[in-house]
Amino acid sequence: MPTYRWGINATGNIAGSMAEAMQHVPDAMLAAVSSRSQRKAQQFADRWSVPTAYDSYGALLADPSVDLIYIATPNALHKRNIVDALSAGKHVLCEKPLTTSSADTRDCIDLARRQGKFFYGGYVDSVFSNHRKSYRAHVLWRYWYAEAFDRKFYCLP
């Protein structure tokens, strides 16, 4: 299986949880991170051994070495971040909630289909609440790769 190169948009706690989980997935590489602050992006990059730190989301999206974007920004920014990432030709995994309305979510799904890109929301079921790292590093990743890349499925909310 090929290695998929991830970019993380944001540097908060949930982004750190994802970066930690990625360390346990052999076919995932955390290639870049973005933040509104170069200092915060660099601190995150140093902590998680990320090779590239950007001070803007636009710079992350322009990076040709990034295949997929993980969106961990505040909820109100999700739709704009999703649209920007899909429009830049990136696959998207967005932290919950996907958007702040069902109409916005539908718009994002429609755009993903038009772009031929995978779009999924990162939801943790309560069954896995005591095993969050295991869930993210095994269940979600196995689903992501097997379904999204091997079969080109789209996940609808």
β-sheet bridge partners, residue 93: 70, 120
Q: Is 96 a catalytic residue?
A: yes
CA angle 100, 106, 111 (to 5 degrees): 115
Query: Which of 40, 79, 90, 96 is flagged as catalytic?
Result: 96
Beta strands (DSSP E) in 43-122 are 52-54, 68-71, 91-95, 119-122
Catalytic residue numbers read: 96
